[in-house]
Structure 1
């Protein structure tokens, strides 16, 4: 699945992306790992993208709330 990177200003996250049909949020971390979070709605993705701190929003609202898997 092809997901376009949207680069963000964060000390931990390089970029985020969203696949509408599958409701998949992809997060590229600065350490080189990439994770796909399933079942993330469009509004949640937009809130993450627009958050003052992407890393904090991710920790508070995404991690632990949605199933995820490491992406290749």
Structure 2
């Protein structure tokens, strides 16, 4: 959640992510922080390179959790979370990463340790996740894919 709030603040996004406004904000930030604007060897150039990478990462992250993106990929998500079993899972902080048997991986944000503990102690892992995680937490499709 900290990462989401940091990126929303960077792009001046209020509550809902509007892709059109996000793209405009992204372009303005890239123009402002493009490394080619600074001289070679300049201390500001290194800072600009780092800031530029952060802007690009933030943009792609926010696009992946935007309501429009989620709506476009909803059919695939529902199919995966209803028919494909869980192959692997990892929990770190408030991020739960679940890899499915069909090879896709989703990240769920804001999942507390208590819910994760209940999930791993459940005798029916997929059923627990389906009822308590898949539709309860903010998610995005991860770039990681596992071999089917």
Q: Give the TM interval when normalised to the shorter protein.
A: 0.7 to 0.9
Q: Please provide the CA RMSD for this pair.
A: 1.1
Unaligned runs of 5+ in 1: 1-10
Structure 1 or 2: more helix by fraction? 2
Matched residue SS, 1:27: strand
Structure 1 or 2: more strand by fraction? 1
Counterpart position of 1:56: 127
Could you tell me how far apart the structure 1 residues matched to 2:109 and 2:127 are?
A: 19
Higher RCO (CA 8 Å, separation ≥ 6 residues): 1
Q: Does the aligned pair in 2 maintain the 1:16–1:49 contact within 8 Å? A: no
Could you tell me how far apart the structure 2 residues matched to 1:64 and 1:29 are?
A: 16
Q: Equivalent of 1:65, from 112, 133, 136?
A: 136
Q: CA deviation at 1:49?
A: 1.0
How many residues get paired? 60
Hey, which bits of structure 1, 4+ residues long, moved more than 3 A? none
TM-score normalised by length of structure 2: 0.39
